Structure 1
């Protein structure tokens, strides 16, 4: 099969607005020992793409510093964490049987080789990603999903959004019969949380607004709460016995509605990074605040099992060609959509 010598890609050479996304003709990367070369079938967009491009992650002790996910980025950088495609070449020491297989790439760069390793870097940030026709990845991080009934577009939506959601659900120890509250339910992670929590047998309450409410209900939420109305009042009506797990922001007003031993799992800062709450509601009720950055290798393996069996149905909000990456990111930033935005090289 093989690959050509050059490819189309979209890179950033500095932090800034959508205008720093530059189409380029670059050399196709060569898979090193232990790596594979993947022809990109689809790449999904994430808030991480916007924050990385803007340098919005801050640094310890300096929250306003321009920074990538885990520190300074090496420019120029090809963005894009979420890739589905086919293996077209393998590096030294890699089983040639992977060639031709349909795969999803785990974009995390881990702090170790164990099953519970933590992500300390991300494809598209700490190494080149999938805003391109081809991308390399460690062979240990590509998962064969040839048998999955999902399309490449759907598979590409899984790594960051569904990986983050599954990490939240696992770290929050959500079990069958419990009640989970999903805030920001119309986004990629929100829809993923709803679908995975439903598959787990939990009761799902979701917060959304306006025209998105119907789509969030269609995604599987048992009850959709209107952000424009009194949230605590709606929660008390929908779950008088309280909430077991909160997935997302809203801590101040929702913390008193957690059950004894309830868990609040945070995986982002879209609602702002400066949060105030009454710490007495935390310790008097044995509640927990849990930070959750993406997923572990174990979590990602569980996610790929769901994908092979087709037990989740990702929602595609829009599709763009690769050369419209700036427009695709602007669409993502407007937050008018439900589900995931994908690009097809």
Structure 2
């Protein structure tokens, strides 16, 4: 196959606002090294990690809520998920769906032509369970906001599905994050799970994946999105932040809170957990700094788990769920690559339900 030497790519030039993303029409196309594959990108999902890495929000120097704008002070030592430095220019974008069009040494050429989605955690292949030896696709290395991208062959999962590339590009980050949270919290069919921010990509995935486990799901979302969230399978949908959450829940007994929101409302979430309940967190879009009463924590025998690096088998499991029709995409909108700034602005505004995807 004759492949072009150049490609279109949206390149992030440094920490800051939307202006840091610049479209290049003649960016060098990457070539796969040993153990890698070259993917012609069909679609790439947009996630909070793209916004937060660009803005530098992951840095401990930042204590504000996610805004998508530039921050006055960003430490250059810890502005990524893994707390590592990031180098620019960088092609962001992690949730790739596309076709393998070339392979590097050591990769079976039979894989050329496969339709794949990406497993975005870049693990040490000799020590895959070591969380200290991980990076993230589109963060510590270039990702999928381009016509082509390279990734290790072991980080691609073949998928057989009638879903479009854009629909499949909603799964890798949001759904793996959600499944990781539910796994850490050991959610079963005996649980009732409260999901703040249920209209977002991760929140909506938590709703579906918790229901798949047989749990009862109570969702929090703005009232304009209640119909969309209910369609994902939530058993009850409440306003985003009820003044009296305990009263709003009625007789519901919450055993698990699966949270990506945080912020000022956070103490209310902890106060309604049943004794022995579990809180699992993989985000803090409303603000990372919260008021925490240790007495509630220990007197109620609560368990808190953070969830970032997912277990290696999660992506293979998600593809099985996709192919079996157990979970479905929540695709809010699709934008062409050149409109990625507009797509991010829409994403940041949070007026949509589900995921936003770009196509090259």
- Shorter-chain TM band: over 0.9
State the partner residue of 1:317.
332
Q: Between Structure 1 and Structure 2, how many residues are aligned?
A: 341
1:141 aligns with 2:142: no
Shift, 1:231, TM fit: 4.6
State the partner residue of 1:304.
319
Shift, 1:247, TM fit: 0.5
Cα distance change of structure 1 residues 2 and 295 upon mapping to structure 2, 3 Å threshold: farther
TM-score of the pair, normalised by structure 2? 0.90
Cα distance change of structure 1 residues 184 and 113 upon mapping to structure 2, 3 Å threshold: farther
**In structure 2, distance between residues paired with 1:73 and 1:178:** 39
Once the two structures are overlaid, the 10-residue window that deviates more, 120-129 or 135-144, is 120-129
**In structure 1, distance between residues paired with 2:306 and 2:210:** 18
Q: Could you tell me whether the CA contact under 8 Å between 2:246 and 2:272 is conserved in 1?
A: no
Q: 1:275 aligns with which of 245, 265, 290?
A: 290
State the partner residue of 1:53.
54
**In structure 1, distance between residues paired with 2:275 and 2:3:** 57
**In structure 2, distance between residues paired with 1:218 and 1:114:** 41
**In structure 1, distance between residues paired with 2:287 and 2:333:** 26
**In structure 1, distance between residues paired with 2:62 and 2:218:** 36
SS at match of 1:206: strand
Shift, 1:235, TM fit: 4.8
Q: 2:255 aligns with which of 213, 220, 244?
A: 244
**In structure 2, distance between residues paired with 1:102 and 1:143:** 8
Shift, 1:278, TM fit: 1.7
| Residue deviations 1:132-166 (CA, integer Å, cap 9, x gap) | 00000001110010x22322111111111101000
**In structure 1, distance between residues paired with 2:75 and 2:231:** 39
State the partner residue of 2:111.
98
**In structure 2, distance between residues paired with 1:264 and 1:315:** 25
Structural RMSD (CA): 1.8
Cα distance change of structure 1 residues 310 and 150 upon mapping to structure 2, 3 Å threshold: farther
SS at match of 2:217: strand
**In structure 2, distance between residues paired with 1:261 and 1:172:** 12
State the partner residue of 1:37.
38
Q: 1:167 aligns with which of 162, 180, 183?
A: 180
State the partner residue of 1:198.
211
Once the two structures are overlaid, the 10-residue window that deviates more, 303-312 or 6-15, is 303-312
State the partner residue of 1:128.
142
SS at match of 1:297: coil
| Residue deviations 1:206-263 (CA, integer Å, cap 9, x gap) | 0011211111111111000112533523454150xx2111001354112232222211
Shift, 1:111, TM fit: 5.0
State the partner residue of 1:19.
19
| Residue deviations 1:160-219 (CA, integer Å, cap 9, x gap) | 110100000000100013100000111000010001111111100000112111111111
Shift, 1:274, TM fit: 0.9
SS at match of 1:233: helix
Once the two structures are overlaid, the 10-residue window that deviates more, 219-228 or 155-164, is 219-228
Once the two structures are overlaid, the 10-residue window that deviates more, 9-18 or 62-71, is 62-71
1:79 aligns with 2:92: yes
**In structure 2, distance between residues paired with 1:294 and 1:225:** 30
Shift, 1:265, TM fit: 0.4
Shift, 1:113, TM fit: 4.3
Tell me, which stretches of 5 or more residues in structure 2 are unaligned? 64-72
Q: Could you tell me whether the CA contact under 8 Å between 1:182 and 1:206 is conserved in 2?
A: yes
1:108 aligns with 2:121: yes
State the partner residue of 1:211.
224
SS at match of 2:304: strand
1:176 aligns with 2:189: yes
